[in-house]
Structure 1
Amino acid sequence: MPDNTLRQRLAEHNEQLLGTLYGSALSNGQWTPFLKRMIDLTGSRSARLLLLNQGANTVQRSIKVNIDDSAHQRYVEHFVNLCPWRTELGEKPAGQLYSTYLDFSCRQPTFYQSEFFNDWAKGLDIHHGVCGTVYSTEQHKVQLLIQRTGGQGHYSRQETNLINSVLPHVRQALRLSALMADREARLTSALSAAQMHPLPFILFNANGQIRYFSPQLEQVTPTGLRFTADGIELTDPNLNQQFKAALHRLTRKAAHCQTLEWRVEVPRAHCPPLYCLLAPVFPGADPNLPFWQTDIHAALYIRDPLAQTGKRHQQLMSTYGLTDAEARLAQDIALGLELKAIAARDHRSIHTLRSQLKSIFNKTGRCRQSQLAALVNQLPAR
């Protein structure tokens, strides 16, 4: 296509092109309309948007136009790394496309002798292209490839530059769609986790980074846990090692392994342990996500017996006439604490506690600590 013609067509259709581009980004990554418009405006044969790993040697997801499924599958499984431009493309600065005819050391006669051309591209009549890394994250690289047939001719320097003039918008659209996919995955995971267990929870991604706190966590006494810049740690080194291993295992399993769980009691001085359950959440396994892969998450559920004491404390005082100190002692008994442990924790006399316990028995009509514990635990916690 003559350079002036491409320039004119891009100018005339710029608003429609950008509308299609950002519409694709807002439509859960449905990039096909944008690729079709780029093919039409540049006089090309086909186009692909590839989501690769950071090393750019494995295609993880892709959007393609005018390449049939079987040919594309063969490209993904075998020919992607046989492409004569693949290695050199990884050495070129990201953020723009390069003409395969002008910007690579593999000249056209050499390309025609390659296995990539003769066993794959030739049958599709793909002779020329522009390609490049248009967006990058810590885990992924996104590459855009637009191809022409032999009859359509190569991409000139001016044409390549004109196509590159659109790339700042492509990068912003990709960034927007990535943020939206991440947000959607986080919200979906949080909703799924909340429906699985009615407990306070922390949501992690596969790297152990905290993605969400449930509001009920405000009721939890965090003794035994330590929050860090990278996530969370259990203060017990052995338990923390087990936690990290379980988190790594659960966030790397397939969706059919959702029954995997990890349970632990986190000890705390002078009070009952935290009961923790780590379970996987799998929004990233949704086959309807067409482009951006989302993290497999894990939810750490936390049951803190101390979090149930608030309303029970008031009920013990109003219903049975216990004093504030007596209500606290009754709940400590219900939590399974011994009088000696309570005395040591609160720096109080064991004789004072025994006197208070006798008063509690008189007011509640109980005569044993086990009966008192049963009474307290039957009171609604919320």
Structure 2
Amino acid sequence: MREPSGHMYAMHRYLPDHVIERSEYYQDFYIREGLRYSCGGMVVDGDFRLIMAVHRPVNHVPYDDSTIQALQRVLDHLPNIFRVRQTAAQAHARTPMMAAALDALPRAVIVVDDEMRVHYLNAAANTMLERSTEIRVQSNRFAAADPHVAPQLKKRIRDVCAACPAVEPLPLYALDSAGRPALEIHVVPLKPQLSLQFDRQTRPLAMVLPRRRFQDPAQPEGSERPFSLSRAEMALATGLASGLTPAQCADRAGVRISTVRSQIKSIFAKTGARRIADIVALFSD
């Protein structure tokens, strides 16, 4: 504490081995816990005094100059770390940070209360609503266009906003104009500590997660294969759908893994899938 602040100090330079051997403090606390060498520093930041201490086990060597320099860089940045932490802890700063995180998600996220009032839409949700006829937001109220689906959606939102949230694991399907399932919708509760950031009254909120379904492939007639897949691509797709990994598919087909990766890219392009899980969903039947 007497040394100038802003520097990391290796304690072995101040307390040699013969002092440690006679020190009740070291023998009763540090050595008993398996610690021997320590390095510490202090930095003053306004009204705060920040202290960083790093310890090494008994069987480790003393701190060398390069390690002390690395720890010095951490000490220099310690005030910045605490400033970020304080900013994140402020309630008014959490909402924009949460919104930025949700906007980065490729999946649509709609935050609503039990009366179907919309509290937040991320970028993907806004894009989906512009193109969708199955769901809509009017007068800041969220609803499904289909009169049969709308009450089911409202009930699920109320269920997850209840004191003891009840979550339906199976998705709800919004139908298109032809009566076919078009949107797959999951409804999950928003954690209470996150709800506070969207609604100062701390009322329960729900997250509605809609996504466009992949159309089921047409059943092949004769030698016809869906999506104009080649024979090798069709074999790979069905193999992945049955639970095989790309490496296992390569071994079974007797080809290199790079060939399988190229075939997966081709399947993505032909089916519109973006990941292997989508291929599994398309071909699992």
Under a length normalisation based on structure 2, what TM-score does the superposition of the two structures give? 0.39
Under a length normalisation based on structure 1, what TM-score does the superposition of the two structures give? 0.30
Which of the two has greater helix per residue? Answer: 1
Larger radius of gyration between Structure 1 and Structure 2 = 1
